[in-house]
Every structure is written in C-alpha cells, then in structure tokens.
Structure 1
Amino acid sequence: MTRQPYPPAGRDDLVEELHGVPVADPYRWLEDPDSPATEEWLAAQEKLFSAELGALTGRDRLRARVAELLRSGSIGAPAWRGERRFFMRRTPDQEHAVLYTVDPGGTERALLDPTALDPSGLTTLDSWQPDKEGRLLAYQVSVGGDEESTLYLLDVASGERVEGPIDRCRYSPIAWLPGGKAFYYVRRLPATEVPEGEEQFHRRVYLHRVGTSTEDDVLIFGKDMEKTNYYGVAVSRDGRWLQISASRGTAPRNDLWIADLAASAPDSPDLVVVQEGLDAQTALHFGRDGRLYVFTDLDAPRARICVADPALPQPEHWRDLIPQDDEAVLSDFSILDDLDRPVMLAGWTRHAISEISVHDLVTGERVGRVPTPGLGTIGAISERPEGGHEAWFVYTDNTTPPSIQRYDARTGETTLWAASPGAVEVPAVNTEQVVYRSVDGSEVHMLVITKPGVEGPRPTILYGYGGFGISMTPGYSASILTWVEAGGAYAIAQLRGGGEQGEEWHRAGMLANKQNVFDDLHSAAEHLIATGITSPEQLAISGGSNGGLLVGAALTQRPELYAAVVCSAPLLDMIRYELFGLGATWNVEYGSAAKAEEFAWLNAYSPYHHVREGVSYPATLFTVFQSDTRVHPLHAWKMCAALQHAQASDRPILLRNEAETGHGARAVSKTVELAADQLTFLAHHTGLAV
C-alpha cells in the first residue's frame, strides 16, 4: 500500500542539563494538549490512522468475533450485609455491569445501572460499599474515563439517593460504623488549599456523619504527612476496631495503626502504632473469636499469616499461623467458624495458578484443599460477615468466563453458584506453561496459548507487564481467543517486577533493577523463536500502562527482534513522568529524575530519549485515551512524533487517540472497537490471515 506522509511536527532545540547530562526534548510542545499546534497535530494523526487502518482487511471479522465472545457477560462475587446480598452482573447486551441486590424476601432487583444513570455510556460505577446492615449504600461514579470519583449515598430499600455529591473522593475506601449513621472515608484537599500541580495528592481520612454537611466532617488522619500518601481505612465487623494504613504512593510497604472504638470516640480515635517505618506490607483482620489475624510479608516475601492479641498488635507479638511457603505466594484468606472445627481458607498462587488450602483455625495445620474448576485464577474469597460454613470465590481461566463458585466446609465440596449470563461458543485452545532463562540466568515462566493442530512458526503476540507486584494470571479474554482461533499464538510472560513469585520477584524488576524486566521480555521473544512458535517477522509485542513502558523500551532496545508493537496508555518520557497525572506516586517504583543516582537509572532506558534516527523500527501503534488522568497521553504523543521522525523503514508509526475514555473502565462497545483496531494492525504486520 502507498503510505501517506507523516504529519509535520516541529523539532525544538531544547536541551536541559540534568546532573551534568544533556537531555534533549524536541517535542515538549506536545505536552500542552490545548495548544492549537497540538490540536492540529492530533487531528492530522487521526486522519492518518483512519486512512492506514481503513486500508487493512479483516477488521470487520475480528470486531464481530471479539463482540461475540464478550457476549459471555460477567458476574461478580456476592457481598452479604444484614439480610441482603449485593453483586455485579453484566448481561450479553449491556455496556456496563449493573449492581444488583437480593432483598430479604428473595427478590432480585437492579440497584445501580450506570447506563440508566447516563444513557451515553460515559458514566462508570467505580466502587460501592453497603453499610453493615445492608440499608444504605455508598457508591462512587465518574464520567468520561477521568476516574474523578464522586461519592453518593443510596437508600437500598427505596433506591433513592439520600446524599451527595461528595467530590475529590478518587480511590476512597468506605468504612461504615454499625447502624449506618457514619463512615470513614478518604478525600483530597480542595485545589485552593494545595500548591499548583498537586491537586491529585494531599489526601486525608475523615469521619462523615450521614445527614450532615461535609463541611462538618471530622479530620481523623493524614495532616502534615507525605503528599503522595494513599490511605486505607477499615472498621471491624463488630464496629469495635478501626484500622488505618498509609503508603507513600504505590510503595510496597505501609505504616499501620489501630484504635479501639470501645475505649475512644469515633471522631477522636486513640490510634496505636502497629508498624511504622518497616519495609513490609501488612493488613489486619479482627476475628469473631477475639484474635487478631495478620497478613504480612514482613520477613516473608511470599507472605504469611500470623495471630496476635489486639491489645498487643505489634510485630514482636505476632505468632505464625500459616508460615511462608517455599514456592507458592499467599494471596488472601477467609475464616469459616460455624463448624465443629473452625477453619481458615488460604488462597495461593503457584507460578500464577490459583489454589486454596484448608487449615485448622487454631493451630494452622493444613487439613485439606478446596476443589477448584481447573488451572486458572481465583478472585478474593468471601464469606458471610456473621460467620458460617460457606465461602464464595470468582473463577476464570483462558477459556472460561468468570463464574462464582461456592465451597461448603461441611461437605468439602465446591459447586457452581452462578455463571456469567451469556452463552458463547468458546474456541478450543491449548495452554502450556513454559520456563525459559533470562539474560542473567533467572528462570521465568510464560503461558503460551495456541490453536490445536497448528504447527510451525506462526504470528504471535507476546504480552507482558512487569511492575508494581501485579501478577499475570490466566483469565478469559475475547481478544486472546479471537487471535488464537484465527491461527495465531499468544504468550503471556510473567516478568520480574510482577508478583508471580512474591515481593522479591517484584523488587528484582523495580528501581535500579528495571532493566531485568526488559531483558526478561527479550529472552521470552528469543525463546518463542528458538522453539519454533514464531519468527522475528511474525512476532508482535503488546502492553499497556507500565506494560506500555515495557514495550516502548523493548522496541528501542531490540528493534530487530519485533515486527510490530501495540503500546497502550504508556509511560515513555521517564525523565518528566513525575510531572503529569499520578506520576509522582510512582517514583517509589521507578525512581526520581531529581536524584542523580535514580536519574541515571531512568535515563538508561527512557524510551523517548532512546529513539535514534536511521533505525528500522517495528510497525508501532500507540493507543491512548484523552481523559486518562493516570498516565497522560503526552507520553505517546511525544514518542510517536520522535519515531515518525526517526523511522528508516516503511513500517508505519501510528497514533490512535480516543476521546472521552480513560485508563480504566469503559463501555463494552469501546472495548470492542479498540480490540478490533489493535488486532487488525497486528494481524497485518505479522502476516496473520484474517
């Protein structure tokens, strides 16, 4: 096909000296989304993208198949409060999942439907939390993908709003006190009270009494602390214990305090330090038996569960109940105590495959295992707040849409409790877990998904993330199934920086160790080629957010290894990333360019700064979202301009810039269109016949 010229983009002679090192930034003008020059450039890029993609074949077929597979719908785990049950479900024709409740008489009804709130489909339900009696519901919604959640209260019986809006509540937990008359929550300070550019930070914990003005909310915690702190807040099921945690940005550690609300007032809790200044993540659960259960990775990078007396909650008083495993990573736990022998269910991932073990609640002795439907991913385990003998969990794998499984501790049986509501014909695939060695000899696991009967090198997408301790686990994906059904292979590498092998694995891919993540991806690609799954001419890489940084670094470090790249919502200018979006909360993961040593780490791989003229780069598609308030699209804009200027081959560098969409949740139709564009691009540039 005849390629259109790239839109003109002026290159400024802007060079700054940082820690004695000159750093060029020729496209800084693209950091201003409202400038006429940026708007003109984006409009031209949209025209180019539409022309390029419009000339490719197979999009309609790919789009139709992705849409068909997404008609599986979805189902969420139940939350029990009082005599009611709450859960999320999306039917095949719905754009968003709907929050339902089952009333005391057994009647099921829709409680919150985002599409009913906003027929445009731009409103998303970000979070929800019923009070302890199931009578009031706190919920948060945002519009256009900006994730700027607004908090409301709903009367569950009538379905009527009773309070709100309360703004500046992004990522706020809600911790109800018994009786539904008050709750703790997290809110940012008003923009007028913080320095310019820091409006996304400066959170505080407040107590709000239902029916009163937020002007009367009581400041509980967070004054004069680190501006990027995130706060967690929870109240025990009996209402006695308050728990507050603080983490600097996304740091893999937290400080922790508790207060006995029976001995101090809710609006002035007497907070006692559990841990402060320790390099560990810890969470607490106050058992109905009076014991304190501690989930921690202190001295246990794969995590352990301890017990203690709530009156003596500090680490020196902890006693191991379920110690660290040598191979599996502890993910969560649940207590079932309406039994002759009460038990704890412990959730684990073993090389990213989920399992649940059963333990004696008093001694921690392993006494059994919860049957699961297959080798897949299990969501958080939940039980009734008042106790019982049942537990519920979400299960999914590469060919199974999410389902809710019920475990009965009295019989030891697991049964299907609720399936995703849509009936779809899922293609048969083979999933193999392989092990390969990275550059330094480290063993890395990878899932490889293929179509039965297809042999020899074939078009392949290699996907990775490698950051923030997030694990890549099996899950139902319409995009993956569509690609594999068409004859391609799909590989998911469990790179360092993730959580698949615990916190040590995470730290082996963060800060000064970030290059390990890129090396793990390159080695995964070489393994796929060496074992005959694919070839460099047929290999694509894909990643989003931190995974966008991953593939951005990969295409600049090893451009000859990859035929095509999809880079979505990426971080790419690692010298200035802290200045935009939520970037300042991530310097605990990446480092800060303000510090000489950490600048050297970042400058060594920052993708935008490693684009070189005259290099044949892979065909690259940047997909970004105009309302993204986490990772500003300017990263992709600047990188796209740099690559278009430098590209020495005829393989295209394209930008898909989507309006009124953000980093996270979106309508199903928008998901379908994005997937169709990405798969069409990758199919064309890897030779997959669609």
Structure 2
Amino acid sequence: MKTPSYPDTRRENAVEEHFGEAIADPYRWLENDVRIDTQVADWVERQNAVTRAYLGALPSREWFAQRIRTLIDYERFGLPVKAGGHYFYSRNSGLQNQAQLFVRDGLQGEPRLLLDPNSWAADGATALDAWEPSGSGRRLLFSVQDGGSDWRVLHVLDVASGERLPDEVKWAKFTNLAWVGEDGFLYSRFPAPAEGTAFQGRNYDHAVYYHRIGTPQDEDELVFATPNEREMNHEAQVTPDGRYAIIRSSTGTDARYQVRVIDLSQRDKEGWKPRTLVPDAANDWKPVANIGTKLWFVTNKDAPRYRLVSIDLSARDPQFTQVVGERPELLERATIIGDHMILNYLQDAASHAETVNLDGKSVRTLALAGLGTASGFDGKPGDPETFYAYSSFNQPTAIYRMNIATGKSEPFATPALKFDPEKYLVEQRFYTSKDGTKVPLFIVRSKAAAQAGRAQPTLLYGYGGFDIALTPGYSAVRMAWLEAGGAFAMANLRGGGEYGKEWHDAGRRANKQNVFDDFIAAGEYLIAQGITPKGGLSIQGGSNGGLLVGAVVNQRPDLFAAANAQVGVMDMLRFDRFTAGRYWVDDYGYPEREADFRILRSYSPYHNIRSGVDYPAVLVTTADTDDRVVPGHSFKYTAALQHADAGHQPHLIRVETRAGHGSGKPTDKVIEEGADILSFLAHGSGLQPPENANDGATAKR
C-alpha cells in the first residue's frame, strides 16, 4: 500500500527558553480544545479522513472486526455486592454497549433489571460508572460518566420501585461513594469549572462533602477540605458497620496519605470532627475494616512490599500494631469476611490469595488455575460468603462464590467461550535488561507454534509507571490477534507496582530511562529467542504506556515494525498544565526545575523525533473527550512525526469522538477501534489472518 499523503499542518514560530535552551513548539495551537477551536476540529477531521481511508483498505481489517465481535459476544458478569439480603451485580449479554445493573432478592432470587445505561444515549457513550447500595439495600447510589470524561454526576435510586430520586450531584471527580446510614452519603468533588475549561483546566480545591437525600446540592455540607493546600485530594470511605468515616489525603499520584477518621456515632454531638491518625503523607495506608473500635490497615510503612497492621481507637495512646509482617510477595489488599481475613498477594505479577485469622495466623491458601488475576473478596465482618473473579490471558473473567467457613468455592457465573483455551500456552519468563536487572515477561502463543519453534509476529505491551502492576487478564481484542496467528507478550517493566516501592522507584523521575531500556530489552529477547521474527515486532501502550511507545520508537526505530501509542503523554515539558497532569510530577518530575527538565527533555516523545531516520509504522490513537491526558499531546506528536523525514511507513492518528481516556467506552467503539489497531499492526508486522476464523467454542456453564 502507498504511504498516504498527510494533511498540511500549520507551523507557528513558538519558541521558549528553558534553562538556556531554546525549545521550539510549532504545534502549540493544537493544544486547544477540539470542541471549541474550529481550526483544531478541522485538523482532526482531515487527519481522520486520511486514517479512515488507509485503515479501510487494509486487507485484514474486516476479518479482525468480525472476529473481535464474535469473541466479545459472551455473557459477562460483574462481582456481586450483598446488602440487606439483596445481591447487586452487573451483566452484559454480549454485544450491549454498556453493562446493565441487576438485583436479586436472595442469591437464588429472580434477577430484576435496575439500571440500563444503553437507554441513556443514542451512541451508547453514557456509562454507569461506580455504584454502591446502602447498608439495607433500600437505596442505590450511582455515578454516571458521559463521553468518557473523568467528571461524574451522582444519582440515587429507590431499589424497590426502580425509580430515581430527584437528587443530582455534579462535578464529582476522583471520588468514592460512601453511604452514611440510609439518608445521605459522602463524596469528593472540585468546584464547578469556569466556562470553557471543564476538559482542560487544572484541578484544584478537591473537597469531601455530605449530601442528604432529598436536598439540593447547594445545601451539601462541607466535611473536609484544605484551602491552604489547594493541590491536595481527599477521598472518604465508611467502614462496613457504618461507625467510622476514613478520609485519606494526598497531593499526587504517589500512594502517600495523611489519614483522618471521623466517629460517625458522635456526629450529632461533634459534627464532622476529624481525628488525625497519620499526620504525614509519607506512606500508603489502605483501610481494611473495623470491628468495634479496632481498625486494620495495609501499609508500606517500614515495609516496601506491605504488611497488615491494626490500631485500637479506644486506647489512651493508640499505636499501630503489626498483624502480618512483610513477605517477599507484594500484599495488595486485605478484607475481613465473617471472622476471617483474606489477603491478596502478587507474586511475580500473578495473584495468590490466603485466608488468615484476625490475629494473622494462616488458615488456608486459595488454589488458582494457573497464572492469572484474582480480584474481589469483598464483604464485611460477619458475612458467611464472599465473591471473587478470576481471569487470565486465555480465560475470560469467571465469578466464584466462596464459603468463608469451609473455603470451598463454587461457580456463580462462568462464560461460554468462543475459542478453545487449551490451544494456547501461557508462560512467564525472565529476561535481562540493559543494566542486568531481571524483568518478568508473560508470553502467550499457540501451543502448536511453541512446539514447532515457529516464530510469529508478536504484539508486545507495556506500561511501566505510577506503581501500577500489569497482571494477566482476558481481552477479546488480544485473543483475535492470537487467532490470527500472532503471539502476545506483556512486560512487567520497572516503574510499575509488581514488586512494591523499590520496583516503582527504579522506573520513575531520574530512573525513567530504565523503563525504556526494559521494554527495548524485551523486544530484543523476543527476537533472540525466536518467538518473533525480525521485522515482526509490534508494540502497544496506553497513557503512560503511550509515552513509553513514543520514547522507544524514537530511541530504537530499527527494532519495531509497527507501533500503537494510545492516549499517550507526549509533551513532557507541558504535561502539568492540563487537568490532572499536575499530579504526575510524582512520577515524572517538575518541568520548571532544571534537573528534572534535563531528564524530561532527553526522552520527551514530541521533542526527540529524529529526521533522516526510518521509523516504523505508527498509529496514534486518542479521543476528543479525554480529560485525563488531553488529546493535544497526541495531536502535537503526530504533526511533528508527519513533518519529519521519518521514512516511508505510515504515521497516522485516529481520533475517536464521544470517548475519553478509556473507561466507559461502548462495545461497538471497542470493536471498531480494536479492528483498526490490529489490522494496522498486522500489516506492519506481516501478520496475515487465516481466511476462516476458528469458531470452535468450548461451552462452560
């Protein structure tokens, strides 16, 4: 196929001096909001027209669209939540754009539809985000997300009648949903933004409010704020018995919190009177639950891979006491169910779970079916049961109910598969990065190819940042790639959360280059091991992973055949000037500080594109309502790449409408975007899907 002719992009003479260096920014005008600036909107339309024409002509595009549609068309359930004898859970019948919310009266009761987001917008882009039943199950608090934005609108439902109450709360963002009794709830929000700034303005003055059912939002009570520290964020949650509200406060993306507690049983006398438990935002503190005045937390204070502690608020001088000490594995979270505690561990990026007594003594371990991810285990003290989900690369999410007393698990909802999972090998290897560090790598491919030693075009995925761990999980889009004859690999790069604080610190700020080195080494390993052929390696990453893709393509364009940078942070000198970007200084550093500037300048994707070098095929993907990583990052990077003398491979951008950073995306957009990306990467890496997809389904009920 011929390389497309790119639309003309206006270059302006925008130059700023930073610490003695003149930095050109000719495409700064593309930072403007695409919904407001008609010139930016025109540029997006012209770019999309070229991209649509190119992708539409790819020979495998329709194959991928049909196969993804088939693979995603299965009944999918969310984890049930029990409240007052009612069981609430989400369900998608298969191709619905949004999952519906159901309730059962008793575990064996008939399902009753409570909320159907598919009726909320003609394009399916308005989503049910979070939801929380009151303690009795009489009311349901839920948040609505429109067009993929981070902003939320909160509503309340009467469960018995299915009718919405008149309550509506706007401008909630980065919030928990926390009932206080049956008549009100705690939530977090920012002040209403100035006109025209909702999707790009920086967020300050986060605060926790209390909303009483039946009253207008302007009467909500301010519970906690820090007006003298405008950068702080505050989140509230209420213990399962309703006794305490716990407020955690932080300034960035690092899990470093101040912790305060409000005794709700004294609210009539004392009001919203917080008591400080942790005054310094130096460590992570994850609330678990309470029994009476005793609270449990999971913390990394004096334990980089976390430990379990408790504190008795009735003591004259309350002190944290260790219950379960630090282990080589990472303790992700803990819950109290019945009179037991379930500990979720991460061992080499795969899940392990263990049941212990409240004093920390081991009772039993939970056997999982191979390398996968277990999540859930929610509930409260006194409950006889809990639910958890299990997923892996070749196993869509299945839901199980576990009897706490016996530890016995039984299926609650298991999917009917549209593929044979036994055809695929899931393995974990460890490769050596540039500085000698051993890095985990998941590899998924057909057993036949593995046994034959046959190299396959490979899609390598990575993230490497913000203390976030990548764990095994199912994706219909990735499965389509595997069925097309490709292999999939996922690298657990430094900067992530796979091994706790040390692993995170080794891949951020001054150490950010380690992340890129790890990813490049993963690609070299896949080729050296004969898993992928030379000229057959595609890469993909989103958000911080989009930054990763942009950086490594600049540094090693010869290594990759094709790349997909999704909603990436591409201008490392101006990321902190938009929406939530100011939080990211914890991982990236401060552009206005010279030492940090030098590091950021050295790898910023937008500023390090090299002319006169052959680049791989690059598809940049973003969305017009992304108010997390504003689309201007992707716009500017694409314009600079198209302007450079970077070889004859296509360098395109795909801009989705009525979508954001990723969450809430309707199924039809997932299918279309997935088909566009995979056909682009397949064309670049030489992957040719079979003429007929294998529809052999293994049904499990």
Q: TM-score, normalised by structure 2?
A: 0.93
State the distance in 2 between where 1:323 and 1:235 align. Answer: 26
The one of 385, 388, 392 aligned to 1:397:
392
Residues 1:108 and 2:111 aligned together: yes
Which of 343, 346, 353 is residue 340 of structure 2 equivalent to? 343
* 1:454-473 correspondence runs (5 A): 454=449, 455-473=453-471
Partners of 1:124 and 1:348 lie apart in 2 by 31
Counterpart of 2:7, as a letter, is P
User: Displacement of 1:35 after TM fit?
Assistant: 3.7
Output the amino acid matched with 1:324.
E
1:72 counterpart residue number: 74
Q: Do 1:562 and 1:618's aligned partners in 2 also have CA atoms closer than 8 Å? A: yes
Which residue matches 2:154? 151
Give distance in 2, aligned partners of 1:323 and 1:634.
46
Equivalent residue of 1:163, what SS? strand
Contact preservation (8 Å) 2:80, 2:89? yes
Deviations 1:154-199 (A, max 9, x none): 1111111113321101232122112x11211112112359999746
Q: Secondary structure at the match of 2:233?
A: strand
Alignment match, 2:445: 450
Question: Corresponding residue for 1:434?
Answer: 429
Letter of the 2:337 counterpart: L
Question: Is the partner of 1:259 in helix, strand or coil?
Answer: strand
Equivalent residue, structure 2, for 1:409: 404
**Structure 1 segments unaligned to the other structure (5+ residues):** none
- Give matches, 1:415-564, under 5 Å: 415-420=410-415, 422-427=416-421, 428-454=423-449, 455-564=453-562
In the other structure, the counterpart of 1:332 is 333
Contact (CA 8 Å) 2:154, 2:170: kept in 1 or not? yes
Give 3-state SS (helix, strand or coil) of 2:488's partner. Answer: strand
Q: How far is 1:228 from its partner?
A: 3.4
- Tell me the distance in 2 between the aligned counterparts of 1:198 and 1:47: 29
What is aligned with 1:582? 580
Letter in 1 for 2:370: G
Q: What do you get for the CA RMSD once the two structures are aligned?
A: 2.1
- Candidates 326, 335, 349, aligned match of 1:352: 349
Helix, strand or coil at the partner of 1:537 = coil
* Deviation by residue 1:299-347 (Cα, 9 ceiling, x = unmatched): 1111110122123598x82221111112x1111222233xxxx432111
One-letter identity of the residue aligned with 2:175:
S
SS at structure 1 position matched to 2:568: coil
Whether the aligned pair in 2 keeps the contact of 1:617 and 1:647 (CA below 8 Å) is no
Q: Tell me the equivalent position of 2:84.
A: 82
Shift of 1:55: 2.3
Q: Which residue of 1 aligns with 2:671?
A: 672
| Residue 25 of structure 1: how far off its partner (Å) | 0.9
Equivalent AA in structure 2 for residue 470 of structure 1? I
Quote the residue 2:99 is aligned against.
Answer: 97
How many residues are treated as equivalent by the alignment? 680
Q: 2:132 aligned with 1:129, yes or no?
A: yes
Q: Matches of residues 168-179 of structure 1 in structure 2 within 5 Å? A: 168-178=171-181
> Counterparts of 1:662 and 1:85 in 2: how far apart (Å)?
31
Q: Could you report, residue by residue, the CA deviation over 1:457-478 in whole angstroms, capped at 9, with x for unpaired residues?
A: 3211110011111111111111
Q: Say whether the 8 Å CA contact 1:627–1:661 is kept in structure 2.
A: yes
Amino acid at match of 1:399: N
Segment drifting more, 558-567 vs 223-232: 223-232
**How far, CA to CA, are the matches of 2:268 and 2:608 in structure 1?**
57
Hey, what does 1:375 align to over in structure 2? Answer: 371
* Aligned counterparts of 2:194 and 2:3: Cα–Cα separation in 1: 50
Counterpart AA for 2:332: S
Q: Secondary structure at the match of 1:542?
A: strand
Check conservation: 1:357, 1:369, Cα contact below 8 A: yes
- In structure 1, the residue matched to 2:142 is 139
Of 226, 233, 242, the residue aligned with 2:236 is: 233
Q: 1:658 to 1:368 in 2, by over 3 A?
A: same
The reply on whether 1:270 has 2:273 as its aligned counterpart is yes
Report the alpha carbon displacement of residue 134 of structure 1 after superposing the two structures with TM: 0.8
1:271-298 residue CA offsets vs partner (Å, 9 max, x unmatched) = 1111122421102234336422121111
State which drifts further: 42-51 or 123-132: 42-51
- State the Cα deviation string for residues 479-506 of structure 1 (Å, max 9, x = none): 2211112211111000011111112211
Q: Which amino acid aligns with 2:19?
A: H
The letter of the residue matching 2:384 is H
| Equivalent-residue separation in structure 2 for 1:266 and 1:575 (angstroms) | 50
Distance, in Å, in 2 between the alignment partners of 1:433 and 1:522 is: 18
| Aligned mates of 1:604, 1:624 — CA distance in 2 | 24
Q: Structure 2 residue aligned with 1:246, among 229, 245, 249? A: 249
Give the counterpart letter for 1:431 in structure 2: V
Aligned AA (1:610)? N
Q: Which amino acid aligns with 2:435?
A: D
Hey, what does 1:639 align to over in structure 2? 637
SS state at 2:63 partner: helix
Name the counterpart of 1:184.
186
After superposition, what is the alpha-carbon deviation per residue over 1:567-618, rounded to whole angstroms, capped at 9, x for unaligned?
1111100101111232112122211212222212211111100012211111
Partner of 2:60: 58
> Per-residue displacement from partner, 1:425-479 (whole Å, max 9, x unpaired)?
3452111101011111111000011112223332111100111111111111112
Task: Return the alpha-carbon distance in structure 1 between the equivalents of residues 420 and 81 of structure 2.
Answer: 29
2:167/2:213 contact within 8 Å kept: no
CA gap of 1:499–1:595, structure 2 versus 1, over 3 A, is same
- Displacement of 1:530 in angstroms is 1.1
Query: 660-669 or 227-236, which moves further after superposition?
Result: 227-236
Taking structure 1 as reference, are residues 194 and 586 closer, same or farther at Cα in structure 2, changes over 3 Å only?
farther
Q: Could you say which residue in structure 1 is the equivalent of 2:26?
A: 26
Q: Would the aligned equivalents of 2:7 and 2:46 in 1 still touch at CA under 8 Å? A: yes
CA distance in 2: counterparts of 1:617 and 1:24, whole angstroms: 22
Distance 1:507 1:681 in 2: 35
Percent identity over paired residues: 37
Give the stretch that moved more between structures: 296-305 or 367-376: 367-376
3-state SS, counterpart of residue 453 of structure 1: helix
The verdict on how the C-alpha distance between 1:18 and 1:73 changes in structure 2, with shifts beyond 3 A counting, is: farther
Q: How far apart are the structure 2 equivalents of 1:499 and 1:650?
A: 38
Code of the residue aligned with 1:66 in structure 2: it is I
Which secondary structure does the structure 1 equivalent of 2:8 belong to?
Answer: coil
- Is residue 445–residue 494 contact of structure 1 (8 Å, CA) maintained in 2? yes
The secondary structure found in structure 1 opposite 2:369 is coil
Question: Matched residues in 2 for 1:7 and 1:252: separation?
Answer: 43
Question: 1:262 & 1:520 partners in 2: Cα distance?
Answer: 51
Q: Which residue of 1 aligns with 2:563?
A: 565
Match of 2:595 in 1: 597
1:332 touches 1:381 (CA, 8 Å); kept in 2?
no
Residues 685 and 236 (structure 1), Cα distance of their counterparts in 2 relative to 1, 3 Å cut: same
Is contact 1:69-1:426 (8 Å) kept?
no
Per the normalisation by structure 1, the TM-score is 0.95
Asked if structure 1 preserves the Cα contact closer than 8 Å seen for 2:549 and 2:565, the reply is: yes
Give the residue type in structure 2 aligned to 1:677. D
TM-aligned CA deviation for residue 140 of structure 1: 0.9
Letter in 2 for 1:457: A
Unaligned runs of 5+ in 2: 690-701
Amino acid at match of 2:486: G
Give CA deviations for 1:356-411 in whole Å, capped at 9, x if unaligned. Answer: 1122222x12232123333210112113x351332211111111111111222333
